[in-house]
Each structure stands twice: as structure tokens, then as C-alpha cells.
Copies of this chain bind each other. A is one copy, B any other.
Amino acid sequence: MSVVLTEIITIGDELLIGQVIDTNSAWIGQKLNDIGIKVHQITSVSDNEQHILSALKEAKQRAEIILITGGLGPTKDDITKFALCKFFKSNLRFDEDVFMQVEKLFKARGREVTEVNRKQAEVPEKCEVIPNSQGTAPGMWFDDHGKIFISMPGVPYEMKSMMEASILPKLKNLFSGGAIVHKTIWFQGIGESFLSDMIEKWELALPSNIKLAYLPSAGILRLRLTATGTDENELHDQIKQEVKKLYGLADDFIFGEDDDSLEKVTAKLLTEKNLTISTAESCTGGYIAHRITTVPGSSAYYMGSVVAYDNSIKENFLDIDYSLIGLYGAVSEEVVIGMANSVKNKFRTDFAIACSGIAGPSGGTETKPVGTVFLAIAHPNGLFTRKLQLGSERERIIRETALHALNNLRKILIGKLK
């Protein structure tokens, strides 16, 4: 792990009055950590020149790398660039490459560049420009006698693409000492404390140069193994061995590694096997279809969905018998089986996912409280169904239903479920 002292300065009144939660710093902290650079301090300051200047001065005394986000927009409240000019005693120059990028972005939206956006191409003479493929504000890299100051936009996707494309590789080259290897394992269908109990012995027996982190989020859990040492190949071997043991202990809940997602993993399986899929959604209201279609190329295997939010749509377009809904309720195994079979036949696909549930906050009953969801997957060899109980929070119920659906689809595709 490198000992180079690194700080983050985030600029923006919205952070101080709590209108925006600073998620950028955590993301940057993680990414730097991945290349062996540990963030030492995070400072958030207001859009005020004196305040920015004093934050820069203080950070310079403490740190060797200073990453700055925010305050680079084209409007009057954005003053970071001018504060940096003052701090480094630098004038502005007009950068043709940046201007071409600004022009390109405007062209893609069928618009002419305005005067205020032309100014986005003005950069401090003393900085090296970092291209911004997602927006008009370029990043700026200052080398002040070996101390590195990097200024980036505060808009998360602009900052992230800039970090991934330019800044992280450059910092890794300059500062990364020793070898570090990360491996992330993705779990679905198990909570943090249950997994922790399940793998306790393995965790306690991990070599001392491998650190383990639990990274939970709604319905999904990641374990990150970080191995540090001198020889990268050795670390890869070490990680491989430990991950193999982990699969042996918790295989049922693991769906992928590193950059995987459930939609990417299922996309790969469907594409490889040349299979197609459709969906019939009630409580998830199109969210499963949305998750599936975030994957580029999904049109090759995904045909479409009937979002049957109202019961009349279930009846008229998925041929669910009115009496079936009367007898068992729209939230029932019987109805989701009908929905899955119907959309599979109508859309002529190999697989079909259907769900119906009570996402709340109202609509729950004693026998079917909010969070009750029925899931069905019709597949070439039969039908899989499951009843889920997913807590009481609407957005989580929708999200977790989709995760369960995709993970069970995955298990059927690899022959682990029938």
C-alpha cells in the first residue's frame, strides 16, 4: 500500500446545506484504494473563493495528491477554475481540443455552442487538460513541484468516466508501490450476517495479507478480497485459491465476479445458448424489463414485456381467467403461472418471467402482507415458481423481485434449478 498522502476536496454549497449527499468521495476513495492509494482526508467547502483557496493551501501542507471535485460548470456560481488560476498564479488560455469536444456534444443534440459554453474551453495555462467525454468541463491536472492537484467536475458520471479513462491509470503509474490484487464476489439471496456465519471459519483462516470487506446494498451483497504483497502473479494465485474455497461454501448464492451484474450474466448465458426471453410484470411495473434492456445488445434475446399493472390487462392480454383472480387473488401462484405461460406462448420465447405482488404501501392483507411476491419462470423444460417475502419498502420490493427473478433465471440456465 502506498504511503503517499492523498486528500479529496469537494466544492459546493449543496453539500454543506445537505441538499446533496457526497457520493463522489466514497467512489473516489474506493477506486484509489483499488490501485493502492489510501485517502487520508476528505474536506467539503463552499463555492467561495477565499474558502477554496484556504482549503487548497491547507491540503497542500498535508498531502501530496489532492483531488478536487465540483464548481466547474459554465454558470456564475461555479468558480473553481478561477480559484485554481489564482492559487497557481496562472492565466487562462483557449484550448482548441476542448472546444472541439464542446462543439461535438452540442452537435449531438442539434445545437450551436453558446458564448458561455465557449468559455468552458478556457483552461489555466499551467495545467494539463484531462478530456471529459461526457460533458463540457475539462479536468485539470496541476503538477506543483511534485504535488499533484487534480480538478474534476462534480457531476458523478462525468467525474467517474474521467477517473477511469485518464486519472486512475496515470496515478497508478506515478504512485502505486508494491502489488495489489482485488477480487469481488457477488451474492444474491443471502444477508450479511447469514453469510458471515456461513463462511466464518474460512474468513478467520485467511492469510494475513488478504483483507476482506462486506459491501451490502439492497438485495445484493459483495465480498471484496484485497491481497497485498510484492509479486502480482503470486497474489492472483493466492486469491484464486481462497475464492475456490468460498465457492465451495456458498456457491448457491454467488452469481458473478468483479464487473458482473445479474443482467450481464444472464445476457451472456442467453446469447451463448441462442435462447430468447419475455416478461409479464405486475408489481415490478416494467423494472425487470428495464434491468434486462440496460445491457447493450439485449434486443438479440429479449422480445418484450406485458406490464399488466391493472387486472384488466392480465385478463385481456395475458388471458388470465377472471375467475382465477377471483378465486386466488391477482397475487397468487396460480396467476403468475398463467402470466408466464401466456407471455411465453404469445411472444414465442424460450423463457418467460412473470411476477405479481404487493409493493405497498397499501394493499396488504393478513395472509398477504406488503412485500408478498409470487414469481414464475416458464422454461423449455417446465415451470419454476417461488413465493417471496421482501420487507415493507416499495422500492426495495420492486428491486429485490427483479434480482430474485434474474438470479433464478440464471440458475435455470446453468441447470442448477428446474
Contact = CB atoms under 8 A, between A and B. Distances in A.
Contacts of A299: 309-310
A196 B17 contact: no
Contacts of A307: 279, 286, 289, 293, 304-307
B306 A196 contact: no
A292 interface: yes
Contact of A16 (B12, B38, B396): B38
A6 to B, nearest CB: 9
Contacts of A19: 26, 30, 184, 213, 215, 224
A40 B52 CA distance: 11
Given A26-B20, A346-B317, A196 B42 contact: no
A269 B109 CA distance: 30
A25 B15 CA distance: 8
A235 interface: no
Contacts of A396: 157
Interface in A17-31: 17-23, 25-31
Given A29-B18, A296-B361, A216 B391 contact: no
A306 B203 CA distance: 48
A261 interface: no
B14 A109 contact: no
Nearest to A135: B216
Given A293-B309, A296-B361, A29 B15 contact: yes
Contact of A285 (B55, B298, B371, B392): B298
Interface size range of chain A in the complex = 35 or more
A194 B284 CA distance: 37
Contact of A105 (B114, B136, B347, B391): B391
Contact of A286 (B47, B182, B290, B303): B290
Instruction: Report which residue of A288, A312, A347 has the largest number of chain B beta carbons within 10 angstroms of its beta carbon.
Output: A347
A176 interface: no
A174 to B, nearest CB: 20
A106 to B, nearest CB: 9
A105 B303 CA distance: 38
A282 to B, nearest CB: 9
A155 interface: yes
Nearest to A218: B157
B293 A215 contact: no
Given A22-B26, A192-B75, A289 B294 contact: no
Given A41-B45, A75-B214, A296 B389 contact: no
A205 interface: no
A33 interface: yes
A74 B196 contact: yes
Given A25-B22, A45-B41, A285-B298, A117 B193 contact: yes
Contacts of A33: 17-18
A415 interface: no
Interface of A: 12-23, 25-31, 33, 38-47, 51, 55, 58, 73-78, 105, 108-110, 114-117, 134, 136, 155, 157, 182, 184, 192-194, 196-197, 203, 211-218, 224, 226, 279, 281, 284-290, 292-294, 296-299, 302-310, 312-313, 316-317, 346-348, 359-362, 369, 371, 389-396, 398
24 contacts: A15-B25, A16-B41, A16-B42, A17-B182, A18-B27, A18-B30, A22-B25, A40-B51, A42-B42, A43-B43, A73-B214, A108-B392, A117-B193, A157-B396, A284-B293, A285-B293, A294-B395, A296-B361, A296-B394, A297-B362, A302-B309, A303-B309, A307-B307, A313-B347
9 A-B pairs with the lowest CB-CB distances in the bound complex, closest first: A285-B293, A286-B289, A18-B29, A286-B286, A18-B30, A305-B307, A18-B26, A42-B44, A304-B313
